Structure 1
Amino acid sequence: MSSIQKWIVLFICSIIANVSSAPFAYGKEDLKIEINKLENRIKKYGILLREQEKRLKNLEPSEPVRIDDPPWAGLSLPSHTESIRTVIKTGPRIPFKTIIDKPDYKRAAYEKYWHSTTGRWSYMPIRIHYALHRLFTNYDIGLSEWYDFEHNVGLSIPMFQNEKALDMYIVIFQTKVTDVYTKGNQIVVVGVPQRTGAQVITITTKNVEPINKREALLVQLATQAGQEIDYSLISYVPPDFWSKQKKNLKDRTP
């Protein structure tokens, strides 16, 4: 039983005690008024209890449990990978576009919209996941998912929905990106570590040629010397995604 529940039980017990002794202190009409007041107070604290339980559920698991990172059913690593140095030396360097560059940006320890009264982004295992990493990847495919992505990383990111070549958005904290390489199912983002900073770059999936398109892409943030700083896994989506969506919509239109 939580401390809030215990407090409510004690409060109700005190009410019962007051009601039991009420006939000696009040007349019949006064007693009805007092009972109504007490019933309203019980209802009020019942609502408060349910609200607090809901907020607690938004914050943590219902039972003490170990949760691995990421705290959801994640993708598996591709079956074939090369060392970062090999990708840099033998893989093609691909173009990238910087859409956000804030060299003095400092990540917040806490944002107001992560509060449990909001609930959508307050779950502690999710918050810890985002605090552990400095590299995040996404496509501009689902608006609701994109909305969550922005609030979880703490940045407002423009989305383009490029019809000619699908953009992969790569969010990087505390690293100045210099180059991007790819080989097979790997993408290596090379940069210089920094104390501050936030960058968002885009690459197009037409420049990525995975060995196995059904397996995940391994996106690695690394130094020029080949030391991994962080990594992210993301499904491969072909570059004609948006053009197909447009065609399908056109075909369904009478």
Structure 2
Amino acid sequence: MTGSARPVAPAGAWLLLWDIDGTLLLKASGSHAAAVWDALRAVHGVEGDEMPKGQPLAGMTDGQIARDILTAAGIADEAIDAHADAVARLTCERYAPGDLQDRVSPGVDDVLAELHARPDVVQSLVTGNFELVARRKLQAAGLGDWFDPEIGGGFGSDHEEREHLPAFARRRAGAVLRADGRPWPVDRTIVIGDTPRDIACARHDGVRVVAVATGSHPADDLTGADAVAHDAAGLRRELLSIIEGAPAAPADSPEVPA
């Protein structure tokens, strides 16, 4: 897979904000969870060789996961807040994913390639992963080149609450690709994810959301999305339906930088 950075977006282009775990990659969180757990052991002294079983990770930010585990272990919020940066730093340092190419959701690489080739699409990320973890994970899966770091994204390292992440991604994309530097318009933004939390974060920011039932949630859990797909082929179909079927962009659309 090869891709290239696209420094300019035409007027009316769409910003697609992809989730990673359960959406782009399937069952690729083992080494990630281990890195979070190692960081919590080192910083807070929690006991045990691995993260407690049954921890509800889907759709949560890394910071939320860490807080829930520490709260259950009796750690006070003040201590959690005081050492949050250290936990994030150690998680990123200790995350070593190995080869994740066999964890790519079937067909999704072709969808990313097709969308990347469109002049009216810019692809970025909204994920609960810390940014360095997200970038390293995608590179290990062979998908990293589809997501230009200069365009940014929204990450668990930006805010512990996922609902704030699309706004981070829109601000960063707008700063790079809009002549006026304003955030990317909500009506030209789509979040793509696999959990109710992905849907909730999109609704909080006022943007569209397409859900895909490739993660831990069945389609019945995802009915709050604008559309629900069962696989990459369905996801492609739903995204193109929005992109190609939408009316012309309003005046508040991204402009080619001068």
Provide the TM-score with structure 1 as the length reference.
Answer: 0.22
Q: Which has the higher strand share?
A: 1
Q: What TM-score, normalized by structure 2, do the two folds share?
A: 0.21
Structure of higher RCO (CA pairs closer than 8 Å, 6+ residues apart): 2
Larger Rg: 1
Comparing both structures, which one devotes a greater share of its residues to helix? 2
